Structure formats: structure tokens, C-alpha cells
Structure 1
Amino acid sequence: FNIAYGIDKNFLFGCGVSIASVLLANPEKALAFHVFTDFFDSEDQQRFEALAKQYATQIVVYLIDCERLKSLPSTKNWTYATYFRFIIADYFSDKTDRVLYLDADIACKGSIQELIDLNFAENEIAAVVAEGELEWWTKRSVSLATPGLVSGYFNAGFILINIPLWTAENISKKAIEMLKDPEVVQRITHLDQDVLNILLVNKARFVDKKFNTQFSLNYELKDSVINPVDAETVFVHYIGPTKPWHSWGAYPVSQYFLQAKSNSPWSHCALLNPVTSHQLRYA
């Protein structure tokens, strides 16, 4: 079962620990990990090799030349690395029938057997998890002029891709074309996530929230926060600017990340201190 990540250098630490968390929670499963990145030094190589050895698993690293992607829209929180998911889908087009794409700020705390066993219906290009509720879906459907989104708008940090259908429908190419269209760019706020929602409307299967339980550590700054992570949760997705590898992100919900970190070659790495003014604000 193939699991892929698309990251820049700021997410290598998170990605290594995310892989460790999947392996910790899923011993005995035949898994292979694929890391698409534009930066990888000898220290990263040593750690990822040690991780593969520690868990007797396969990790393949692909170095990406990003020049062509840099012309696409980006924001403070979303760099061009967000577009690596298109490269991933295209890379596997003739190699396998499904790939699980995960953001690197996801920690695993449960079995993924259900995903391994999932059978797609014939028109389903991907399995995804909703973001927000009806009110948010309705807003997105209006902003993106796509009425079908009222029945669900998904978060693109978790996508189980049905490769043959994704390829047949030319999703990656269509998405990149849309991201170059000034009219589309004017409408979108969530870059490729918005575009994928438009392209996959009525063609994606919505699976249980336990597979992408989204929680921002910045919510912890509020008094009345409800933690959505429970015993059933499989993937905890640390959305928002503060990540569990940040020194100021040590909240109870970060435990799933920190536990995997302590069972990985990153166990002795210090958590990262704030570097930007944006981060200092939350720290």
C-alpha cells in the first residue's frame, strides 16, 4: 500500500515523524512511503534511511525541480509544494492503482486497514474527508460557482487517489490549467484544494472524519475549544500555522506527534523555535 507526501524543506521533520506514526500504529502491514521534495541533504538522508531500517519499511525520496510550479499562485501558508500532489498522481499513473496522499502535518494513531480494503465505485476518482460543515460548504459553493459543493467540500490534506480514473480524467493537467487562469485564481482562496473540489464534485467518496480529523493548535489559545480527536480517530491533521514540531505547540493534542517522534530517528531533535514574526505572534 503506497503512501505519498509532497513537501518543501520546512516539512521534512514533520514528514519523517508522520511516517513513523503510520508505522507505529500499523505494524505488520506491507507499506511503502514516497517523499516528493525539492530539498534533501545528507542529514535528512541519514535519518530517513535510519527510519526505514528501524521499521523494516521502504521509503523512496524523489527530488523535484520546482521551477515550473513557482509560476503558480502561492500564499504565506501554502507554498508551491502544495502542487506536488499533482506530480505524485502523475508519477504513479502507470505504476499502481491507488496512492494515499497525506500532508506532512498529519499524525496517525489508528489502523488504516479500512483504506487498504476500500473499493472504489466506478465513478469515484478519490476518497476524501469533509472540511467544516454545511455552512462552510455553502459558502465555498457560492465563492467557487460550483453548486454541487453544498453536499460537501473536502480538505486536500488526505486524498486516497484512484489512479486509473484520475489519469483518465486528466485531473492534474486540468487543475494546473485552472491555476493559470486569472478568472479562476480570482475566485480561489485555498489554491489547489479549491480547484480539486471543483474538479471532483460528485466524483469523490466522502469517508469518515476519523481519517482526517482537523484541529488547529492555534484553537488552543481560545478558552472554549472542543477537541475533535477521540478513540476512533485514525489521522490527526494539525492544520493552521502552529505545528506540533514547534516549541510553542506542546498542547495535549500534540501527543500523537510527540509519541511518534520519540520512536523515530528524530527523537533527539529539538522542537523548532519561532523564526518569523507570524510565528512569534503565536509563540
Structure 2
Amino acid sequence: MKWKEVLKLTITGNSKRILNIVLSSDENYADKLAVTMYSILEVHSKVDGVCIHVLSNDISENSIEKIKAIGDKFSNAQIIIHNLDNLEKRLGKDVNVDHLSLATYARLLIADVLPDDVDKALYLDVDILVRENLSDLFSVDIENYYVAGVKSIIDLADCNEDQEHCFHINAGVTLWNLKKCREDKFVQKCLEFIKNTNGKIKFHDQTIINEVCKGKIKALHPRYNVMSGMFFLKYSKFISVYGVKNYYPKKEFDDAVSSPAIIHLTSWVVGRPWEEECVHPYRSEYERILQLTPWRGKPLLRKSSSKYKLAIYRLLPGTLIRIITKIKRWVKSKIR
């Protein structure tokens, strides 16, 4: 039997329902990928099967073996490594990455990379903790959409279109209709977007996804992508700080914070669990899972006091914080 036929049988599992989840990383984030992967497999240990596709951009062989070893702990799990070490060449142009890894752009290629018989897949960033079974999320109807996600708190504020159906999503958690993406040549459209912008893209691959998929994006409940600031700012302050339009109602926001399905450990003033002095409420949960991986005991990264920054953030008016943030972004754009 050819390897592609074996792969097809494994992923579809004949009559079993397999959850296809995609993660992307380079060597620098391999430990974070391991934690995200473990959190996924731990809460899905009783489903029919979970197939995790790892888009590898120069992950070392040693780290790959460690990642596969995590999968071996779970009888219903399969780990498939997709080598994208030539990612820069596949994108066709140099793209701006700022503080991010080039691996973040790999999600644009999912429709081409995953087998043709996989019609739906969930992409997750590797700074994520999965807290509950996501089978219900996979049941969301996206037949007439390219992608579904939680509304963005960054570029949504800059969107000049107020229609309820027109919004931007955060690309860290995205549920993909791969069948439709393939039919409408989504990957080709993304590569054309990069070429036409000469790789100078405001919010990286997130901008590409929102522009290429415009009008074919479905909003998910915010509990499927609860970002760091949501845990520390009350709804009114949150809206003021980010100046977002057409955001979620207060009840949905509060429900997401009290009962998160997916926690997105975004870069924010409270720090991240792998940094010193992080005060994120799920830091202990991250550390617990890290100790179950081959990266247990990895030293924390140095970072200035998160408590001090959080105090300033809470004291300043939201509108002032928004102005300061815009000035910072403008300065950074001029330095590039």
C-alpha cells in the first residue's frame, strides 16, 4: 500500500471522527508547541481520534522526536510532521515578521499541505492552552465560509466598515473550510496578496487572511480565543483601550473569561508563562503541563516586572492607552 493511502486511512479512521488540528513552529518555539500539543491531547483523550499536523519550519530532529514521544503517550493520537523548511521560498517574497517567527505564515498553506480528504481543520498558535473538548467547535457549520475565528482586538479598531458581517478575526485560532479554500484557490490568492504588497503587510498573515477571506468569515464565541487582556480588564475598560467596533456583547465577553475553552497567551503587560514575573492567571496550568513534556525545567526568560506595568495599565484612561499604543506602532513602523 502506498504511503498516501496509509495516511488517508489513518486520518479518516474509516467511520471514526478524527479531529484534525494544525500547529506551526520553528525550533525556538518547540517547547511552547509541546505544551499546546499536550493540552490538546489531554482534554481529548476519550474522543475517537486526534490528528495533529505540525508544520515544521526548521524544527530540529531532536525536537521532532520529543514531539512524537508526546503523541505516543495517547492511544488515540497521531502526530504528522509536514516539513516546510523552504517556507520563505514558497511564500515567494520576503515578508515582514517583526517580533514573530516566519512560521506564523505557514498557516496560509494549510489547504495545500494537508491531504485532500481533510475538509475541515483547526489551526492553533503555539502560545495556547486548550481547556476543554473541542468537538462542538468542529461541529460549527462553515460550509459557506472560508474560515471562522474570534474577532480581533488589534486591526478591528482600524476597520472603517461597520457592517455586522464585515469584521477582522484573530488568526491564532482559526477553523478552516479546506474544501472551499481549495475550490477557490485560497493559497494562490494569499501568495498574490504577498506579491502585490511586496511583503509589507501591516499585521502579517492575519492581515492576509482577513483581506483574502473578506465576506466569507464567520465569528466564533470569544471563549474559543480568550486573550490575556480579557482576564485583567473589565468589559468597559477593554472596549475603551482597544476602541473596537462591533465587538461581542458584555455577557459573551464575561462568559468567555469565566469559562474559557481556548486560552491564548498573547503578548501583553502581564507577561507570558515562560517569562519571569508573569502574573497570568493560567501560569500555573502552563507550568504543570510543561513538566509533563521533555522540556521540563527549562529556565524562564528574563522580563521586567509585569505587576508594575499592569498597575499603570489599570490606572490610565483607556483612550490614553490607545493613543500611546498607536504612537508606539507608528514609531516602530518608521524604524523598520
TM-score (norm 1): 0.81
Which whole-Å CA distance do the structure 1 matches of 2:140 and 2:301 have between them? 40
Identity rate of aligned residues, in percent? 21
Displaced runs of 4+ in structure 1, greater than 4 A? 146-150, 224-229, 279-283
1:164-203 equivalence runs, <5 A: 164-182=179-197, 185=200, 188-203=201-216
Which structure would you say has the larger RCO, counting Cα contacts within 8 Å and 6 or more residues apart?
1
- Range with bigger deviation, 166-175 or 101-110: 166-175
Which whole-Å CA distance do the structure 2 matches of 1:48 and 1:79 have between them? 19
CA distances 1:5-58 after superposition (whole Å, capped 9, x unpaired)? 121222111111101011122221210111111223343133212211112221
1:19 to 37, 40, 45: 37
- CA apart distance, 1:202: 2.0
1:99-118 equivalence runs, <5 A: 99-118=121-140
CA contact (8 A) 2:27 2:63 kept: no
1:70-219 equivalence runs, <5 A: 71-92=93-114, 94-121=116-143, 123-132=144-153, 137=156, 139-142=157-160, 151-182=166-197, 185=200, 188-215=201-228
Tell me what 1:44 maps to.
Answer: 63
Name the SS for the 2:54 alignment partner: strand
Tell me what 2:298 maps to.
Answer: 270
Partner letter of residue 18 of structure 1?
A: T
CA distances 1:203-227 after superposition (whole Å, capped 9, x unpaired)? 111110111111159x79xxx9999
Name the SS for the 2:55 alignment partner: strand
Which whole-Å CA distance do the structure 2 matches of 1:120 and 1:180 have between them? 28
Count of residues in correspondence between the two structures: 266
CA contact (8 A) 2:95 2:199 kept: no
CA contact (8 A) 1:109 1:256 kept: no
Partner letter of residue 70 of structure 2?
A: L
Distance 1:182 1:116, change over 3 A: closer
1:230 to 257, 276, 287: 257
CA contact (8 A) 2:21 2:53 kept: yes
Partner letter of residue 203 of structure 1?
A: K
CA contact (8 A) 1:247 1:273 kept: yes
Tell me what 2:267 maps to.
Answer: 240
TM-score (norm 2): 0.69
CA contact (8 A) 2:291 2:297 kept: no
Tell me what 1:54 maps to.
Answer: 73
- CA apart distance, 1:75: 3.0
Which structure would you say has the larger Rg?
Answer: 2
Which whole-Å CA distance do the structure 2 matches of 1:7 and 1:40 have between them? 7
Tell me what 1:3 maps to.
Answer: 21
Tell me what 1:259 maps to.
Answer: 288
Which whole-Å CA distance do the structure 1 matches of 2:265 and 2:106 have between them? 19
